[in-house]
Structure 1
Amino acid sequence: MKLDTKSLIAGILMSLLAAACSSESGDESKNGKKQQATSDVTFYFGARVIPGDGSPVIEDATFIVSNGKFTAVGKKGEVTPPKGSGRIDLTGRTLTPVFFNLQAQPGLSNGPSYGPKNYGRESVIADLDRYAYYGIMGVLTGGTDDGDLAMQIRDEQRQGKVNGARLYTSGRGIVARGGGPAGLGNIPISVATAGDARKAVSELAEKKVDAIKLWIDDDNGKGAKLKSDVYGAAIDEAHKRNLKIVAEVFELADAKDLVKAGIDGFVSSIRDRDVDDQLVSAMKEKNVFLAPALTTAEAKFEYADKPSWLGEQTMREVYPAQLSAYLADQVTMNKFKRNPELGALRQQYATAMKNLKKMADGGVRIALGTNSGSPDTYPGYFELREMISMVEAGMQPMDVIKAATSVPAAFLGNNDHGVIAVGKVADFLAMPNSPLDKMTNIKDVGSLYLKGAEVERSSMIQNISINVP
């Protein structure tokens, strides 16, 4: 059965245009009317602001947006509204910068179906719209881009021709010959020697990818994995070409060797055993980040029992109830229950949670990365679930917000986003409830503002197609 939920790009543009033309006042918001900027300079007041860089919350904040950027940010009384400026009352709202995800697989999933057969322009853009709906306005693909399509969409976005979450691409990921993740067909680049690895990185660099992705994870001993001289060559070549390089990893020993070789970050959790102080110290010293992708590890077993979140309102806003019903069906549950590795997968997830806390407590830089779009994970919605899981692992909510905003934006070289501060683009979320009080409040995204103008989020997801059994 095919259900329509569609991306009206024109709707987003129209709402942005309306934002510049609306004359609704701050007082009208209390009567349920949507507020919009009334001029190129707008004064906002009353909100609780979480800056995103770990600095203290600004209570009862005031700020000015001029021509789409923050020009002043401060406490009540510290910022004076310019003469003739528009005014927007955000009393009762909690503001965060928009979110960024360093591990995503847009375009590969269609309901329960996963793989290259689903990949195409329409499916990639649909997922970018789903990410944007949930406030994730930038994603780095995880080496799962088929051909040059992702580069084309990225470049069209920079030209203002395509909306949705800002796309960053790592092109085709690099795997050991005879290894790599299941389900991706010929998308990954298979290499056997250091020379092969350098050639692969060079070809990707010529296509102007935004980063390089390696798969070191050998699926818990089931397949070939890159040898140290091969991934060492890939890391060296990437850095020579001023490209950052990340890896999926499973084993602690591999993680240690990758840090020594100069990897810039891990986009999966170490799950074979507890991490030790040696790795934590090395990652902190070399500023290697961890994007744990907890929800992807969890998705390998969690449908054996109906998850408590399945079918909740936040999910149904984008993903139809029929999809939740399929995942909760006894046939689907039994398929997961029959997996002989079910117990091991549960233990690996528990290890990942424990390791995240140790690494965060030890000062390792943590970033949001989910691998959403992989089997049984859902773009946009799973980023919110990931942040909740990070708190459940033991991270502080303020640190999770930082991990989802300033840390990934900085890694991507996006100096215009990541923090609510003077000089940054005024892209932010205005939530009705604070995630600092309870991280599950993150599920109510509230309002999305781009360049200081509120966007009609629902227009992003109208008539997007998804297949449900």
Structure 2
Amino acid sequence: MLIKNCTLVNVKSGELISAANILIEKGKVAVINQESSFQVPAGTEVTDGSGLFAIPGLIDCHVHMVWDGSDDPNSVILGMDDELLAVATAKHAEATLKLGITTIRDLGAPRNVGFAVREAIRRGLIAGPNFLIAGPPICMTGGHVHTLGVEADGVDAVRKATRQLLKQGVDVIKLMASGGIYTEGEEPASPQLNLDELTAAVEEAHKRNVKVAAHAEGVTGIRNALKAGVDTLEHGNLGDEKAWEMCVKQGTYLSPTLVVFKYIAAAVGEGTPEFAVRKAQAMHKGQVNNFRKAVEMGVKIVVGTDAYSPRTPHECYFDELKYMHELGMTKLAVLQAATVNAADALDRDDLGCIEPGKRADLLLLSTNPLEDLDIGGKIVTIIKDGAVITR
């Protein structure tokens, strides 16, 4: 495939490369040039990119494909067996790809559900984004969303749980360092897995060169996760200057998941559990100012939405981009958080930018995303692994 005469957005620098030709071969970007008379192999499909802007496929670093984004998705899945959960997950994955999100990191699904869907996508049995999985998150007994997780108490138990997940082939380890809004009877500010437990899990994962993500909303849980050496901090609602200093010093990424708290906080009387609404209202209020401070202090940020959590269908991705800009990030920084920085956080150097040798996951937009971040309504073509995705 040749995309001819488009404007290529260099997401690393913000440079716009006009009259660009992008040749795709065997699912990868092969050649990029600006030659008007560029010769391509016979039989190559040519797409006219005139007036269109090419950006990398979008990445969401925090999703839960097993849920459905309804008012109370956990109640929906409680009566479903794993086979049905896998079907639902596959349906959500395909819908996500058709939004232009070509890579996702699923940070919590029960048992082997995520493994089955990941393998089905890899084999080409179903359509879906690049599907990275944590499998069941590791939490303390009765801890945050324990219905999705593996419960473990004490260093030895957490170490064993981590090793077992690594043996199964997870792409990332997910740890619950604090409480959260969507489990009744706990408070988001309360720490859960302690520093020693978190450190043991990080040690085991890093031995295998596997990244670690930590759910952490309260400041004690945030600091414990950072002291343990996690690679990405999920949510970070009550992060303070000391926490952001640690992030900057250690190079830890923040995946803020801003809109899920905003949406749930506004869901009074809408069917979402009232305990979750109450906690979301308290957490979102603090998160807005704390996120602004993280941006100001230079914390590395990636896009994560918590998609398919309560009231958060995956279309929320585009609201997340706009909200990040509203709270202080430049449009280029937001685009980087959705592409090249997200790929770095996931340790995937084959993704995140349009360069020769990278996977041919890209979007063609009708407007310049550095001027207009309302990307969702401007997608003309979605390409994954060199193939056009039918929407």
TM-score bin (small chain): 0.7 to 0.9
Task: Identify which of 393, 409, 434 aligns with 2:343.
Answer: 409
Task: Identify which of 368, 375, 379 aligns with 1:445.
Answer: 379
Residue equivalent to 1:275: 240
Task: Quote the Cα distance in structure 2 between the aligned partners of 1:206 and 1:342.
Answer: 37
**What is the percentage of aligned positions where both structures have the same residue?**
21
Task: Identify which of 286, 290, 295 aligns with 1:360.
Answer: 295
Could you list the per-position Cα deviations for residues 257-288 of structure 1 after superposition, in whole angstroms to 9, with x for gaps in the alignment? Answer: 322221111121323xx621x33232122111
Instruction: Spell out the pairing of 1:168-247 with structure 2 (5 A cutoff).
Output: 168-181=132-145, 185=147, 187-219=148-180, 222=187, 225-247=192-214
TM-score normalized by the length of structure 2: 0.88
Residue equivalent to 2:230: 263
Residue equivalent to 2:38: 80
Cα pair 1:177 1:224 within 8 Å, conserved: no
Cα shift at 1:289 = 0.3
Change (3 A) 1:279 1:450: same
Residue equivalent to 1:302: 266
Instruction: Spell out the pairing of 1:64-213 with structure 2 (5 A cutoff).
Output: 64-74=23-33, 76-77=34-35, 80-82=38-40, 84=42, 86-109=45-68, 111-115=70-74, 116-117=77-78, 118=80, 120-143=85-108, 145-181=109-145, 185=147, 187-213=148-174
Residue equivalent to 1:251: 218
Residue equivalent to 2:361: 427
Residue equivalent to 1:388: 322
Counterpart amino acid of residue 127 in structure 1: H
Task: Quote the Cα distance in structure 2 between the aligned partners of 1:108 and 1:342.
Answer: 18
> Is residue 2:19 matched to residue 1:60?
yes
Change (3 A) 1:78 1:418: farther
Larger radius of gyration: 1
Task: Quote the Cα distance in structure 1 between the aligned partners of 2:123 and 2:366.
Answer: 33
Cα shift at 1:408 = 2.3
Task: Identify which of 374, 399, 418 aligns with 2:333.
Answer: 399
Task: Quote the Cα distance in structure 2 between the aligned partners of 1:57 and 1:355.
Answer: 33
Cα shift at 1:103 = 1.0
Cα shift at 1:347 = 5.1
Q: Secondary structure at the match of 1:430?
A: strand
Change (3 A) 1:345 1:451: closer
Cα shift at 1:403 = 1.0
Counterpart amino acid of residue 40 in structure 2: P
Task: Quote the Cα distance in structure 1 between the aligned partners of 2:280 and 2:85.
Answer: 31
Aligned-residue RMSD, C-alpha:
2.6
Change (3 A) 1:90 1:262: same
Counterpart amino acid of residue 270 in structure 1: N
Task: Quote the Cα distance in structure 1 between the aligned partners of 2:349 and 2:277.
Answer: 43
Cα shift at 1:370 = 1.0
Stretches of structure 2 that go unaligned for 5 or more consecutive residues are none
Cα pair 1:53 1:418 within 8 Å, conserved: no
Counterpart amino acid of residue 275 in structure 1: D
Residue equivalent to 1:289: 253
Change (3 A) 1:105 1:54: farther
Cα pair 1:140 1:169 within 8 Å, conserved: yes
Change (3 A) 1:198 1:78: farther
Could you list the per-position Cα deviations for residues 120-165 of structure 1 after superposition, in whole angstroms to 9, with x for gaps in the alignment? Answer: 121010010111011111211112x222121122123222222212
TM-score normalized by the length of structure 1: 0.74
Task: Quote the Cα distance in structure 2 between the aligned partners of 1:281 and 1:303.
Answer: 34
Task: Quote the Cα distance in structure 2 between the aligned partners of 1:352 and 1:293.
Answer: 10
Q: Secondary structure at the match of 2:136?
A: coil
Cα shift at 1:178 = 3.1
Change (3 A) 1:162 1:339: closer
Cα shift at 1:83 = 6.3
Cα pair 1:62 1:79 within 8 Å, conserved: no
Counterpart amino acid of residue 91 in structure 1: S
> Is residue 2:16 matched to residue 1:49?
no
Instruction: Spell out the pairing of 1:312-327 with structure 2 (5 A cutoff).
Output: none
Could you list the per-position Cα deviations for residues 383-406 of structure 1 after superposition, in whole angstroms to 9, with x for gaps in the alignment? Answer: 122111111111111111111112
Change (3 A) 1:242 1:342: closer
Cα pair 2:257 2:306 within 8 Å, conserved: yes
Change (3 A) 1:196 1:83: closer
Stretches of structure 1 that go unaligned for 5 or more consecutive residues are 1-36, 305-330, 458-469
Aligned length, in residue pairs: 378
